[in-house]
Structure 1
Amino acid sequence: MKHVIVILILVFSGAFTPDKPIVDVLRRQVLSEAGWALKQAPVTVTAQGCSRSAGGKHDFYSEGDYWWPVPGHPDSPYVQRDGITNPDNFVAHRLAMIRFSRIIGALASAYRITGDPQYVVAAQRHLSAWFTDTATLMHPDLQYAQAIKGRFTGRGIGIIDTIHLMEVAQGVLVMQEAAVFDRTLLEGVRKWFRDYLQWLTTHPYGKDEMNAKNNHGTCWVMQVAAFARFTRDTTLLTFCRNRYKEVLLPGQMAADGSFPLELARTKPYGYSLFNLDAMATICQILSDDEHNLWTYELQDGRTIRKGIKFLYPYVANKSQWPYKRDVMYWDEWPVAHPFLIFGANTWKEMDWFNAWKRLEHQPGHAEVVRNLPIRHPLIWL
């Protein structure tokens, strides 16, 4: 934690700025999006409900994306069509959370660039609504996420929906030393994330997701790492580092740097990008002066860098992709993926930086946004 504290002190004393080339790319976008965010009123899970939810007003609810009614039998239990999204499923809470993430990410990014306290003041309205205001807050659990009509009121697989709270926690970490940040609110937000971590690590849904073999297991570690860093839970940070070294990297990456479990899906390109983004974000969160996951190497040579080197050519030129095309959303990928900028920033790889620079930084398609965990890289660097 010492290096984090030192960096934060430098940030807020004006002695430190993010890498200039990255700021040069993002400044106009960040300030524009932050201007939008300044005008937004909070919208939480209490703003809209669904009669199919087994939870209450304050419970996050979503439905499995790839589950559909049986044709001609709308009241029957839903059946799966892997990779094909049902547009009639309830996603309002997920969209509200993504909007919340976008607001906090934009305000924190603008604050990091400018130091203007107005961005911190605006962020606190949303943080209070989601985490401490008893009329509008969300309960710190995910018992009713990715439900399936006629089958499950919620599933551990739904925990992936809260990847969009990572930039909220990280945004608060960037802004928390500002003089205008209310200390009571800050402790309330931190308590909410401590409570959520307790649920994530003890509830059967959380344990199921932790043990998932594919991108779901990766995203569990990524989320827990982000929230544990915010709450200063060193025990969980150590657990996540070990999980990456002992489970994720050896269990998911092939010798060539690919992810076979993602390649076997009906959307192999999109899921490969998504899983690499998540693994690279884990390395970004958990690496410090004492632990460098970016350079961690298995005995057979597998590293996160090998994963980026495998996928990068197909980001630079998707037409060379040698596997089957995704059944949906093929044209929407790639975008400005975090693995590109985190990897470029770590190893000074200009090809990766230039690819990140030219790709879309503000994708508008809901499926892309849903599967892009980091959209405000400045707050992570």
Structure 2
Amino acid sequence: MRILSISSLGALMCTAAGLPISETAEHVIVPRTVVLDGQRLVDAKSQLRRGNHRLKAALDHLTAQADSWMNQGPWMVTAKDDPSPNDTIHNYISQAPFFWPNPNSADGCPWREKDGVYNPDSDQYPDRMNANRMFNSTYVLSLAWYYTGKAAYAKHASNIVRTWFLDPMTAMNPNLDHAQLVPCSSLGRSYGIIDFSQEYSAVLDAIAILSTGAPGWTTSNTVAFQDWNHRFLSWLTESSFGKAESSNAAEHGTYANMQITALALFTGNMSLAAATSEFAKKLINSQIIANGSQPKEISHTRSFHYANLNLGAYLRWALVAKKVGVDLIAYKGPQGQSIFEAANFLIPAAVGGQSEWSYEELDFKPYASTDNLDAAADVGFYQAKKVLGKLPPPPGGNIFSLRPAPQQLDSIIKIQ
């Protein structure tokens, strides 16, 4: 790991500010994060010590979110009452959220898809809701520990991760064979991989942060978590579902390949990380057109949601790809397609609201673009930077400056 020196004067300032002694050490370990830039976390912590007011406001939001998780969890896939359809309670199970029973048949079969219309009965399988709680809580708690030194945050995050992934009594098997099943027709689908691919890379960063010396997280935990992810990556790249999802031409394929890139980097498979990063250029060519629109995404009944969802995958992917020497931010396709053009297409609606959006959107969330435009501005897109002060903050406050990578802010899964 990279080691950076901190001046004696800085240590004295930390002591005077009442920060924990562990935070005043002469050397600091840069988190080996796969999406976030670990050095930027170090820099932000240093700026907080020096009294940066903007970061302090973000820290107040972050710790409020962390506090809200302290009396929740841990969660586990083994909490299900019924292990069916897979005969082992350690397998993850979820139901496709946009499928509904057929009203014209006695048994409801075959189920039919209603694009963008969430079926609350899909929540009968608790794994997806609990996975999203696990993703979000682990990320927020690890960041809150990193910036405050409060041991309780790290210990709770560690317990959540161990329970979901490592404890033999409760651990999830490293596959998604039964994700997004559809009653009457399938016991799982390749589309279900997006249950993880949307947010799981945040957990990888959380573990990189905890691995810098967090109380409650051990070296043996890191080794065991690495092993789980080696097996999960093998399933994603070798199983029929994994191959099908990686070949998907829309947002499912973007997220699947972004997740593989992040996992490859996390597990040390640099050649795979580089190859999948290069593959992103082909997806940019096929998914984004010259005016920045994403035809496959804006064809949905939740068009603004999906356009932001897919853009967020590209912006996160670009941060991972940069670590293996692939520049997706500067890339332009043969028609001028680029990540910046996709961001630019969303700016009018992000600032002006649904009246500035010409496509169907069943549930317009004005803050859906906020993180994406923060991220685009952060990597040099001037048009995004110009409108940052006009964007609505997400629920829970804007914490982008403390974790400068976009997250999906309008998830269909309501976790709190």
Same fold (TM over 0.5): yes
Aligned residue for 2:371?
338
**Counterpart for residue 46 of structure 1:** 78
Aligned to 1:213: 249
Q: After TM superposition, give the deviation of residue 199 of structure 1 in Å.
A: 0.4
1:57 is the counterpart of 2:89 = yes
Alignment match of 1:204 (pick from 218, 227, 240): 240
SS of structure 2 residue aligned to 1:145:
strand
Cα deviations by residue, 1:213-244 (Å, 9 ceiling, x for unpaired): 00000110221222223222212211221111
Give the C-alpha shift of residue 168 in structure 1: 1.2
**Residue correspondence of structure 1 range 63-142 to structure 2 within 5 A:** 63-71=95-103, 72-89=105-122, 90-142=124-176
Q: Which residues of structure 2 form unaligned runs of 5+? A: 3-29, 398-407
1:23 counterpart = 2:23? no
TM-score, structure 1 length as denominator? 0.86
Number of the residue aligned with 1:269: 304
TM-score w.r.t. the length of structure 2 is 0.79
State which of 350, 360, 364 in structure 1 corresponds to 2:394: 360
Query: Structure 1 residue 91: deviation in Å?
Result: 4.3
Instruction: For 1:222 and 1:319, locate their aligned partners in 2 and report how far apart those are by CA, in whole Å.
Output: 29
Q: CA deviation at 1:75?
A: 4.7
Structure 1 unaligned blocks of 5 or more:
373-381
**Residues paired across the two proteins, number:** 366
Residues 155-174 of structure 1: CA distance to partner in whole angstroms, max 9, x if unpaired? 00000000232211111112
When residues 239 and 25 of structure 1 are mapped into structure 2, their CA distance, relative to the original with a 3 A threshold, is farther
Distance 1:28 1:207, change over 3 A: same
Would you say the 8 A contact 2:65–2:140 is kept in 1?
yes
Q: Which amino acid letter does the alignment assign opposite residue 310 of structure 1? A: F
Percent identity between the two aligned chains: 23
Match of 2:411 in 1: 369
After superposition, what is the alpha-carbon deviation per residue over 1:36-87, rounded to whole angstroms, capped at 9, x for unaligned?
3333331111112446533420111111112111115235231222222222
1:282 positional shift: 0.9
The partner residue of 2:209 within 174, 180, 185 is 174
Matches of 2:357 and 2:395, distance apart in 1:
26
The one-letter code of the counterpart of 2:293 is S
User: C-alpha offsets along residues 238-265 of structure 1, whole Å, 9 cap, x if unaligned?
Assistant: 12211111x2100100111110111122
Q: Tell me the distance in 1 between the aligned counterparts of 2:155 and 2:91.
A: 27
Find the counterpart in structure 2 of residue 375 from structure 1.
none
Q: For the Cα contact (< 8 Å) 2:191–2:245, is it kept in 1?
A: yes
1:135-187 superposed Cα distances (whole Å, 9 cap, x missing partner): 11111000000111111111000000002322111111122111633000111
Query: Pairwise CA RMSD of aligned residues?
Result: 2.9
Specify which of 182, 185, 188 is matched with residue 224 of structure 2.
Answer: 188
Tell me, yes or no, if the aligned pair for 1:8 and 1:177 is still in contact at 8 Å.
Answer: no
**Partner residue, 2:188:** 154
Say which is worse superposed, 313-322 or 152-161, in terms of deviation: 313-322
Q: Provide closer, same or farther for how the CA distance between residues 370 and 201 of structure 1 changes in structure 2, counting only shifts above 3 A.
A: farther
CA–CA separation in structure 2 for the residues paired with 1:45 and 1:289: 34
- Give the drift of 1:287: 1.6
Q: 1:283 to 1:352 in 2, by over 3 A?
A: farther
Which sits farther off after the overlay, 175-184 or 49-58? 49-58
When residues 319 and 69 of structure 1 are mapped into structure 2, their CA distance, relative to the original with a 3 A threshold, is: closer
**In structure 2, how many angstroms separate the alpha carbons of the residues matched to 1:216 and 1:20?**
39
Alignment-derived partner of residue 284 in structure 2: 249
